[in-house]
Amino acid sequence: MNDSNSVRTGFTRRALLGTAGAGLMAGVSAGAAGAVALDRPAAPRADGSGGALGAARVPFHGEHQAGILEPQQARVQLAAFDLADGAGRDGLRGLLQRWSRTAARLTAGEPAEEFDNQVALDAGPCSLTLTFGFGATLFDRAGLADHRPAALEPLPAFPGDALDPARGDGDLFVQIGADDALVAVHALRVLQRRAAGTAALRWQSAGFARTPGATPHPMTGRNLMGQIDGSNNPEPADDGFAAKVFAAAGADQPAWLTGGSYLVFRRIRMLLDNWEALPADRQERVIGRRKSDGAPLGAPAGAGEHAPVDLSAQGPDGALVIPSDAHIRVAAPAANGGAAMLRRGFSYHDGLLADGSPDAGLLFLAFQADPRKGFTPVQRKLSRGDGLSRFLRHEASGLYVVPPGVREGGYVGETLLEG
């Protein structure tokens, strides 16, 4: 998604794609984090303002929206809004224009035009990205039903789903990533105030990932189950990568969506008390990878998380080394007709439930060219045959179409609303 025009502390988006193969990783497909290795500033700027993380900037404008291929930030704010009754197409256009101007300023480390509460006044841009999506209901509410993509059909019900409609779906969606929590919260608050009278907040969730620089060298992070999570995402250098992630006009994909994508959101609670009651070797068999280094079961010592997965390997007793219901076996693209998604997952921990168990897990985000060929068939298989599913509860869901990137002077959704 980042191949366009502006620099990010010395990197162009096109240059980033050229080097991304060194660091774009994913892992446990129940929601792994796509992470691209990024040379963030190594030291504070000479004028003393903005530390290494604070100075990193991601341009808002480009061929694709930022926040899809960029390195995963340390913090995320996810939110959905519902359009006000009577706002219609003109109201939506005005809102998206306001949001786009705001996003361009905030991602550059500048204060918002209006409603800036100075929460992030002394911070740099901190790799801030704002990525916008449209829910299926928006097209009816804005008089755009004829332009709704066929692939934006509702996701089917999956076995084991326990979805709360109040914490999912929505007309408008935004993913706000940043390496500083205050920067992300500030951006959401400004968007909310700029939407007043046109759209109201429906739900929001906050998540976190490993802070860049927290380890001696770049490495894939772990989820709340303690698993290295992010070892098998598609990479921009792979053949057919763009066709898996970005929509192209043709068949039943509308021309206005060219360069855009589809985003599936799932709030997945992990049953951590049950999981942590398992011995480590049993946890490894559920996933199909060693906890110590993320290597697939059966790989030699020191092989690491990127060692080839041998699904045919057998032990001395003739049993499969990677069990038949292991997550990496059931989720493998080869077992799902080649279906693939670009996943960016964040952990969440929202305290305790009434029974004392942790309200914690994964905010799963997956970008793909067509959810009917990506998320839906994979999740259908996982929900029926994945040993990991016994330790997960899908509690909220959303499907959104993500418009293409924004040109200088334009606004998100312009190809839809002006086409």
Rounded Cα–Cα distance for residues 36 and 54 (Å): 18
Q: Is 359 a catalytic residue?
A: no
pLDDT for 336: 82
**406 exposure class (CB count in 10 Å sphere: 0-12, 13-18, 19+):** buried
Average pLDDT, 10 consecutive residues per value, the chain (419 residues): 34 32 34 35 41 89 96 96 98 98 96 88 94 98 97 96 97 98 97 98 97 85 91 84 93 95 98 98 97 94 90 95 96 82 95 98 98 95 95 98 98 95
Rounded Cα–Cα distance for residues 398 and 412 (Å): 20
**pTM as predicted:** 0.88
pLDDT for 334: 76
Of 116, 229, 370, 386, which one is the catalytic site residue? 229
What distance, in Å, lies between the first and last C-alpha atoms of the chain?
Answer: 22
Taking a C-beta distance cutoff of 8 angstroms, is the pair 95, 195 a contact? Answer: yes
* Residue ranges covered by each domain of the chain: 51-288+323-419
pLDDT for 41: 44
pLDDT for 51: 60
Rounded Cα–Cα distance for residues 325 and 323 (Å): 5
pLDDT for 162: 97
CA angle 352, 354, 356 (to 5 degrees): 50
pLDDT for 216: 86
